[in-house]
């Protein structure tokens, strides 16, 4: 393992894939927020619904794993 990761093509490719992954995750989360019958932010922050926070956190982790697998190939 040399310094191949320091080459500009590898470095900028990694940055590009990271940005694509974050964008896909964000769009997916917004879509899921729109599909739910209530406002997730209000439930989590104002009402402090711990059970919903655990479900949303688990969903975010699962979605992150799916996006990472899709980006890696």
| Comparison of pLDDT for 70 and 65, the residue scoring more | 65
Q: Which of the four pLDDT bands, split at 50, 70 and 90, describes residue 9?
A: confident
Look at phi and psi of residue 48 and say left if phi exceeds 0, alpha if psi is from -120 to 50, else beta: left
57 within 8 A of 7, measured Cβ to Cβ: no
pLDDT at residue 32 tops 70:
yes
Long-range CB contacts for residues 2-10, cutoff 8 Å, separation at least 24: none
- Is the pLDDT at 50 greater than 90, yes or no? yes
Percent of the chain with pLDDT over 90: 12
């Amino acid at each position: 393992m040399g310094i191949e990761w320091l080459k500009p093509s590898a470095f900028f490719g990694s940055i590009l894939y990271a940005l694509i992954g974050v964008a896909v995750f964000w769009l997916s989360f917004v879509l899921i927020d729109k599909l739910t019958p209530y406002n997730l932010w209000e439930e989590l922050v104002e009402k402090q619904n711990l059970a919903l926070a655990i479900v949303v956190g688990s969903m975010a982790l699962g979605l992150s794993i799916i996006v990472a697998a899709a980006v890696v190939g």
